[in-house]
Amino acid sequence: MKRILIANRGEIAVRIIRACFDEGIESVLVVSAADTDSLAARLADEVVVIGPAAATESYLSAERVVQAAINANCDALHPGYGFLSERPTLVEACETNGITFIGPSAEIMQGSGDKLLARKMAESVGIPTGKGTGGLSSLEEAIEAAEQLDAYPLLLKASAGGGGRGMTIVRAAEDLREGFMRSSTEAERAFGDGTVYLEPYIEKARHIEVQLLADSHGNVRHLGERDCSAQRRYQKIIEEAPSVGLSEDLVSRIREAAVHLARALNYVGAATCEFLVDVQREAFVFLEVNARVQVEHPVSEVVTGIDIIREQIRIARGEEISFSQEDVHISGHAIECRINAENVPAGFLPSPGTVSEWTIPNGEGVRVDTYMHDGAVVPPYYDSLIAKIIVHAPTREAAIAKMVRVLERSSVKGISTTIELQLAILRDPVFSGEPITTKWLEESFLATYHA
């Protein structure tokens, strides 16, 4: 593996370029016309412009991405996350053209990426999944399925994808019609498939996920679990590793379930197995498998000392994972804050523009994954995530204090960001004093927060 095409942009593109550098591999970056002078473009060994700013004509075009890899003589392709990262069609195109896809095969991706298929596999190996329905393609099917479940509130979810898209809570029968139409329409728009399904909604839940690595030699390793319960509209805002406030037995069972499912899927590559923990019953149910590297992977890296992107590359080369499960030790506590270019007082509206000043303190136990710098442009065409600030400390309390110090001393001018919101969350006694549930941020904290 000598040249890797990076089919992404922003901070994850920068992250992959650095991993290529550490592995002694040349990096080729595809960019849209809006990203020709990005930090990632400056760092890559070679840059290929594949289309205009519109993602549908650039980053979301598997044909253009693969042709760029062929023209640049790349022997491998890393999709990052988002965009085409979980599209089996991209994997198939790579395989057809003799390009190594750094991730699972198209068949495995299809099985793990479809939530209903993944849930059936989880059920078949004894992992609790909750009492959910099959795929629902019409309102009539949804009404019949809801009557059979007979247990409101219910949650509508998209079958073909994640990221919170297509998810709607339905608290009463009279809300089902509107909820179904909203979820199905959003799922169709986001994933090209309007199929949804229903499952009981857990009122007090924590979002716990397990980072996995699996190679083609049958080895599966977990890197512990992350808590991603700080969410707004099912979008994660703060992530932590490891989880706190769960019994050792429950954590052990969650980790084992994730490894067991990866083996059942014959998974190869990096993946995240996500679960919901019912706080009241201290029980867990399977949510989904993400067949790619996650936005929040850095917190798992800093508490284990393992470079997940480099392991992805090695696995794709056919090598065995470079460490045993016994070698994985969780050290201290890590917190990641997602910094978005958004105007919080205006309702989290995107805030594109030119960054006139970018200052984020660095130092021991502080990591900043970003594509920002003085003069950087945040284009209006893509996701608003501009940086991830990750801190590592001996305890959760110390990690929160360190993150507060970093954010207090950060200065970003020219655009609006979510830094002040992150600070307010970290300073809140509920967040710092006890494990929160997935609805705390949206229903409790934001209900009284004033920027």
3-state secondary structure of 273: strand
Residues 294 and 286: their CA atoms lie apart, in Å, by 17
Joined tokens for residue 209:
């996920």
3-state secondary structure of 225: strand
- State the DSSP code for 441: I
Rg (CA), the chain: 21
Residues 240 and 104: their CA atoms lie apart, in Å, by 26
- The answer to whether 359 touches 411, Cβ cutoff 8 Å, is yes
The residue from 221, 292, 338, 396 that is catalytic is 292
Q: Across 244-332, where does the E strand assignment appear?
A: 269-278, 283-290
Strand partners, 170: 154
Tokens 């400390």, residue located: 393
- The answer to whether 198 touches 136, Cβ cutoff 8 Å, is yes
Q: Is 317 a catalytic residue?
A: no
Residues 288 and 311: their CA atoms lie apart, in Å, by 22
Burial (CB count within 10 angstroms: exposed 0-12, middle 13-18, buried 19+), residue 434: exposed
Joined tokens for residue 448:
């009284």
Buried b (16+ CB within 10 A) or exposed e, 216-238: eeebbbbbbbbbbbbbeebebbb
> For 413, how many CA atoms within 13 A lie in the half-sphere containing its CB?
5
Contacts of 228 (CB under 8 A, 6+ apart): 207, 208, 209, 236, 239, 240, 296
Active-site residue list: 292
